[in-house]
């Protein structure tokens, strides 16, 4: 899939630095590939900064790309969002016949696993339109056929259409619901330019509209022999995922949020996964609050262990720090640990070698009062939840399924009465929960119980000091829903705390008993809202002014000295940074220098 251009023009772009494969600014980079690129080392591609890719599946009704299977599997395993595409031959086939051919080849790779992007139609041939009144009608029919076929499989897709900026004139009547992918090798910087410096009369998606821009066919990327098509998305990584991730019985856009925690002496550490390279990392300091001196370290095993999820920590009762993630090697749940602050880390180990479960999304981890650890993670078989647990650090791991059709990561708490309770949003938008009454007891009968509908994304849960529970989750209109009760046996109440947010919520309870919630808006700004204690109203959303915009969910923590600290990822660099409340004033954003 490429539009021809001269070798001299490619060389000029390379000399100008436009064709750098690494991440530059906030717009995520990607590539599109076919049999012309032969065998690809996808781990190297990911390490070079690529976030997404589409791989050729078919051309017309006469060609199947033999590299499709390897590209889809290995690209996903490397942590790249992968989609499949059809090179359209409207001059030879009806749109229904070509959609049938594409679906027969590609459907097994199109699934709601949190790793797959929607199908793409590559429209470059304009020599006739069989079975359609126009090229736009042909494209609409093909896309509608794919939407129907996906729906019959329980999937939700909205295809994207690729063409050149000037060829878009041929697609008059195209539905604006299909994504717009434009090719134009105009020499502009992909992070600041756009594909509409020519042929502006061809803007059939609307004035200046584009989602993906193929800005070159001469990109040099580690892991690929020769040049490859280079693409950039017109937005943030989270917006890219929201727009193009296949939806269905399980949908989880993996959010690589930072995960802070403190040792028993108050010393702080924050864990994260490299945004483009999937390498786990931490930064730690001996300070209990403030900026201090932070030291970063990579946590892979000779660069062999990569994480396809956030790194989630727990401090065991014996002082061991233990971290969990979903590995990028077939999606096993992995963990590693040290034996106390400053000690060496173990190698990564598999938690329960469950060959039938290919896990996706971020694990939820909770420490029981008796020293046991509970871990909850999705498998990709309809979004059911797998539960791992042990009674002490040296004990054998056990596991079992909690079932469900869950559409978000889980959140788990231990109630004041020792009950273990886990929350999630199901595929129908219901906030649901399950519970047991303590270590070794059975889970509630009847499965997942709904607390209310109209939700999306991962819930955030706070176990209050007085035994009550507060749950915050995004409404489908991007306001924030609030669920709460005073004790486990009380009836749940619910309401809205308003706002218009673009991230999942993070919440804390400070030493005064105030609940404070944090979220990111669509422009990358950090906002917060708070009450003055149990039963009091929330005060309204207020902006925390920072020198950066953020791309990840925020993560808040109350430090041992009572300071509230918020961590996030800078949209420009993907590095982790933080701000904290110093005597009522939020400090300037401070970068911790990694992991990028």
Catalytic residue set: 32, 122, 124
Element at 365 (helix H, strand E):
strand 359-367
Q: Say how far apart CA 540 and CA 534 lie, in whole Å.
A: 16
Alpha-helical (H) ranges within 366-410 are none
Nearest-angstrom CA–CA distance, 25 and 571: 7
Query: H or E segment at 408?
Result: none
**Which secondary structure element, helix H or strand E, spans residue 79, and what is its range?**
none
Sign of the dihedral through C-alpha 144, 146, 147, 148: positive
CA distance 174 to 160: 11
Task: Assess contact for 252 and 382: CB atoms under 8 A.
Answer: no
How many other CB atoms sit within 10 Å of the CB of residue 36?
14
Task: Write out the two tokens for 445.
Answer: 């009968």
Cis peptide leading into residue 402 (ω within 30°) = no
Backbone phi, psi, residue 240, to 5°: -55, -50
- For residue 443, which of 382, 376, 378, 394 has the smallest C-alpha distance? 376
**β-pair type (179-183, 160-164):** parallel
Taking the C-alpha atoms of residue 327 and residue 43, their distance in angstroms, rounded to an integer, is: 13
- Closest by Cα among 310, 311, 306 to 322: 311
Cα end-to-end span (Å), the chain = 30
Measured CA to CA in angstroms, residue 9 lies from 22, 167, 185, 215, 219 at distances of: 20, 20, 9, 12, 12
Residue among 367, 250, 273 nearest 326 (CA): 273
CA pair distance 270, 283, nearest whole angstrom = 6
Which three-class secondary structure string do you get for 511-541? Answer: CCCCEEEEEECCCCCEEEEECCCCCCCCCCC
CA distance 67 to 45: 16
Paired strand residues for 137: none
* Residue 455 near residue 430 (C-beta atoms within 8 A): yes
Q: Which residues are paired to 313 by β-bridges? A: 323
- The encoded tokens of residue 41 equal 């080392």
The size of the chain, in residues, is 596
In DSSP notation, 436-451 reads ESSTTPPBPTTS-EEE
- Three-state DSSP at 202 gives helix
């Amino acid at each position: 899939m490429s539009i021809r251009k001269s070798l001299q023009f490619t060389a000029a772009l390379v000399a100008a630095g436009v064709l750098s494969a690494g991440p530059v600014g906030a717009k995520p980079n990607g590539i599109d590939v076919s049999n012309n690129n032969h065998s690809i080392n996808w781990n190297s591609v990911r390490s070079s900064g690529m976030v997404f890719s589409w791989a050729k599946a078919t051309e017309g009704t006469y060609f199947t790309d033999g590299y499709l299977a390897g590209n889809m599997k290995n690209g996903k395993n490397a942590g790249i969002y992968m989609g499949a595409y059809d090179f359209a031959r409207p001059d030879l086939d009806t749109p229904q016949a070509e959609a049938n051919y594409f679906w027969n080849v590609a459907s097994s790779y199109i699934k709601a696993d949190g790793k797959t992007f929607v199908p793409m139609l590559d429209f470059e041939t304009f020599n006739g339109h069989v079975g359609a009144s126009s090229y736009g009608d042909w494209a609409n029919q093909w896309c509608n056929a794919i939407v129907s076929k996906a729906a019959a499989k329980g999937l939700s897709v909205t295809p994207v259409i690729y063409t050149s900026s000037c060829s878009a004139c041929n697609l008059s009547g195209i539905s604006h619901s299909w994504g717009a992918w434009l090719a134009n090798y105009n020499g502009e910087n992909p992070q600041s330019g756009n594909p509409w410096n020519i042929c502006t009369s061809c803007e059939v998606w609307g004035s200046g509209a584009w989602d993906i821009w193929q800005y070159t066919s001469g990109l040099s990327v580690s892991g690929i022999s020769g040049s490859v098509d280079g693409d950039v998305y017109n937005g943030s990584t989270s917006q890219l995922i929201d727009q193009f991730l296949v939806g269905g019985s399980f949908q989880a856009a993996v959010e690589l949020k930072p995960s802070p925690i403190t040792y028993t002496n108050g010393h702080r550490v924050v864990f994260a996964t490299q945004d483009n390279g999937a390498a786990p990392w931490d930064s730690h300091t001996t300070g209990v609050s403030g900026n201090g001196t932070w030291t970063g370290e990579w946590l892979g095993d000779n660069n062999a262990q990569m994480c396809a999820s956030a790194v989630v920590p727990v401090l065991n009762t014996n002082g061991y720090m233990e971290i969990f993630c979903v590995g990028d090697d077939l999606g096993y749940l992995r963990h590693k640990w040290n034996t106390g602050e400053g000690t060496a880390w173990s190698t990564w180990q598999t938690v329960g070698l469950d060959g039938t479960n290919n896990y996706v999304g971020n694990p939820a981890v909770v420490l029981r009062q008796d020293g046991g650890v509970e871990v909850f993670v999705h498998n990709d078989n309809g979004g059911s939840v797998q539960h791992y647990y042990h009674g002490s650090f040296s004990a054998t791991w056990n596991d079992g399924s909690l079932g469900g059709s869950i559409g978000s990561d889980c959140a788990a708490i231990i109630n004041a009465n020792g009950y273990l309770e886990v929350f999630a949003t199901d595929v129908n938008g219901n906030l649901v929960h399950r519970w047991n009454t303590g270590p070794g007891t059975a889970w509630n009968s009847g499965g997942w119980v709904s607390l209310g509908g109209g939700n999306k994304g991962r819930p955030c849960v706070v176990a209050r000091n007085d035994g009550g529970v507060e749950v915050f989750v995004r409404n489908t209109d991007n306001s924030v829903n609030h669920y709460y009760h005073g004790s486990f046996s009380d009836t749940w109440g619910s309401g809205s705390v308003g706002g218009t947010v673009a991230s999942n919520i993070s919440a804390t309870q400070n030493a005064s008993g105030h609940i404070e919630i944090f979220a990111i808006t669509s422009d990358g700004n950090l906002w917060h809202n708070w009450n003055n204690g149990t039963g009091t109203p929330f005060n309204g959303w207020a902006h925390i002014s920072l020198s950066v915009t953020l791309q990840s969910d925020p993560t808040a923590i109350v430090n041992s000295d009572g300071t509230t600290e918020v961590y996030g990822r800078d949209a420009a660099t993907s590095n982790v940074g933080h701000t904290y409340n110093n005597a009522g004033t939020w400090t300037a954003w401070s970068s911790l220098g990694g992991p990028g």
